[in-house]
């Protein structure tokens, strides 16, 4: 029986009641399987088997269901056979390499994508994907994998890539997070895989933690590990109540450190012959500034961060030096590593 799921705003997860009927008396499932398990609702604690008169002891609860979306017509769960009132369980098993040669019970070996790793990371055996599901972004066509939990055998589903700074999908498994450190994704509208929804998928907005309000941030958007020679996206974030103004040419310098404690400034990202018109970052706004090309050569592997200075109270459309600015401040990005990791 088809069920229409109305989903407005954030993800709404429905618990489905199992439809097994019992032979009576003994509490054993005689039906073909339960309807409660779902990759959308992995914690399906509400699914209980129907009972016949006199069979009050039959109250099977699937604590961790990992079936594909829809009816379990064959009575077989992804992690076991559902022929009795026993909880579904999933125990991750280690494996090496992609494919299923080192896994059993029809499972396949999943390895987290790590293009900046020097060696192949350890994998885990997972149930095979069904119906367009995903365990990571590599399973999506130009998209991000949402709500996947491979370590618990739960697949997610694909969503379009978010490119605008400040927009996001929650619980995405892409390597580079949509939000800056400390912020969370709020207000997304997502229609779960296999459901019918009135509202189209819509990204949310990165919402700062309470302690971050009133601050200015430099955001290194490549995820904390940068390959030698890779272009690094640099974004200024203004969480104050008024505009800030950046130099019109180079808005940050490069700093290095052997231990991420003591930093040495290596100078600006570009040499400027004129300071240029100041770049205004409005209150609550984001500005992508000039990207930085990570070095690629002997002695360049190590810890880096960006350091920048901004001004306040300036006249818009003027250089910093002639804009009548009344204040200034500094910001540092989080530290990141240039090189490959094991």
**114 in any annotated domain:** no
Backbone phi, psi, residue 320, to 5°: -55, -40
**295 in any annotated domain:** yes
Asked if residues 68 and 39 have their Cβ atoms less than 8 Å apart, the reply is yes
Q: Give Rg (Cα) of the chain.
A: 26
Q: What is the DSSP string of 243-295?
A: -EEE-SS---EEEEESSSSS-EEEEESS--SS--SPEEE-TT-EEE---EE--
For tokens 């009050």, what's the residue? 56
- Secondary structure letter of residue 62 according to DSSP: -
Q: Which residues pair with 336 in a beta bridge?
A: 304
How far is 305 from 283, CA to CA, in rounded Å? 24
In degrees, rounded to 5, the angle at the alpha carbon of residue 28 between the alpha carbons of residues 27 and 32 is: 135
Asked if residues 126 and 150 have their Cβ atoms less than 8 Å apart, the reply is yes
**299 in any annotated domain:** yes
**Would you state the pLDDT for residue 190?**
85
In degrees, rounded to 5, the angle at the alpha carbon of residue 66 between the alpha carbons of residues 62 and 68 is: 120
The parent domain of residue 293 ranges over 213-338
Long-range contacts: 263-266, Cβ < 8 Å, 24+? 263/305, 263/307, 265/307
How far is 321 from 275, CA to CA, in rounded Å? 8
* Helix/strand/coil for 330: strand
Asked if residues 47 and 65 have their Cβ atoms less than 8 Å apart, the reply is yes
**Would you state the pLDDT for residue 146?**
83
pTM summary value: 0.64
Q: Which residues pair with 125 in a beta bridge?
A: 109
**Would you state the pLDDT for residue 175?**
64
How far is 154 from 43, CA to CA, in rounded Å? 10
Structure tokens at 281: 């970052």
**317 in any annotated domain:** yes
Report CA 131 to chain centroid distance, whole Å.
Answer: 21
- Reported as a single tens digit per residue, the pLDDT across 203-229 is 999 999 999 999 999 999 888 889 899
Number of domains in the chain: 1
How far is 137 from 157, CA to CA, in rounded Å? 9
In degrees, rounded to 5, the angle at the alpha carbon of residue 155 between the alpha carbons of residues 153 and 158 is: 160
**Would you state the pLDDT for residue 17?**
33
> With the C-alpha atoms ordered 150, 154, 155, 159, is the resulting torsion angle positive or negative?
negative
| Residues in the chain where the model's pLDDT stays below 70 | 1-88, 97-101, 118, 173-175, 342
User: Taking the C-alpha atoms of 293, 298, 300 and 301 in order, what is their torsion angle to the nearest 10 degrees?
Assistant: 110
For tokens 């990207």, what's the residue? 291
- Supply the CATH number for residue 247's domain: 2.60.40
**138 in any annotated domain:** no
How far is 75 from 31, CA to CA, in rounded Å? 8
Backbone phi, psi, residue 219, to 5°: -115, 115
**Start-to-end CA span in the chain (Å):** 50
User: Taking the C-alpha atoms of 234, 324, 274 and 249 in order, what is their torsion angle to the nearest 10 degrees?
Assistant: 10
**270 in any annotated domain:** yes
Structure tokens at 200: 């189209």
Asked if residues 329 and 310 have their Cβ atoms less than 8 Å apart, the reply is yes
**Would you state the pLDDT for residue 292?**
95
**21 in any annotated domain:** no
How far is 196 from 175, CA to CA, in rounded Å? 29
- Reported as a single tens digit per residue, the pLDDT across 39-70 is 333 333 334 343 333 333 333 433 344 344 44
């Amino acid at each position: 029986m088809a069920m229409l799921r109305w989903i407005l705003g954030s993800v709404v997860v429905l618990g489905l009641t199992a439809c097994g009927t019992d032979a009576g008396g003994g509490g054993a499932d005689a039906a073909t399987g339960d309807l409660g398990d779902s990759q959308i609702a992995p914690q399906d604690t509400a699914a209980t088997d129907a009972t016949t008169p006199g069979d009050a002891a039959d109250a099977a609860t699937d604590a961790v269901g990992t079936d594909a979306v829809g009816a379990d017509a064959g009575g077989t769960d992804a992690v076991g056979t559902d022929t009795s009132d026993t909880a579904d369980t999933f125990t991750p098993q280690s494996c090496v390499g992609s494919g299923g040669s080192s896994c059993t019970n029809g499972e396949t070996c999943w390895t987290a994508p790590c293009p900046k790793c020097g060696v192949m990371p350890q994998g885990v055996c997972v149930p095979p994907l069904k119906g367009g599901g995903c365990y990571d972004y590599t399973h999506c066509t130009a998209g991000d994998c949402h709500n996947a939990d491979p370590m618990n055998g739960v697949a997610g589903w694909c969503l379009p890539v978010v490119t605008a700074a400040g927009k996001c999908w929650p619980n995405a498994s892409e390597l580079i997070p949509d939000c800056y450190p400390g912020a969370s994704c709020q207000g997304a509208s997502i229609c779960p895989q296999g459901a019918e929804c009135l509202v189209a998928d819509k990204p949310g907005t990165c919402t700062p933690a309470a302690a971050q309000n009133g601050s200015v941030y430099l955001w290194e958007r490549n995820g904390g590990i940068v390959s030698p020679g890779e272009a690094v996206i640099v974004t200024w974030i203004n969480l104050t109540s008024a505009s800030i103004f950046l130099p019109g040419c180079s808005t940050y310098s490069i700093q290095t450190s052997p231990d991420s404690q003591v930093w040495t400034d290596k100078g600006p990202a570009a040499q400027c012959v004129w300071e240029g018109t100041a770049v205004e970052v409005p209150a609550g706004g984001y500005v992508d500034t000039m990207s930085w090309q990570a070095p690629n050569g002997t002695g360049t592997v190590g810890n880096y961060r960006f350091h920048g200075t901004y001004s306040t109270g300036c006249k818009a459309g003027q250089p910093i030096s002639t804009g009548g600015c009344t204040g200034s401040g500094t910001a540092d990005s989080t530290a990141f590593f240039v090189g490959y990791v094991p």
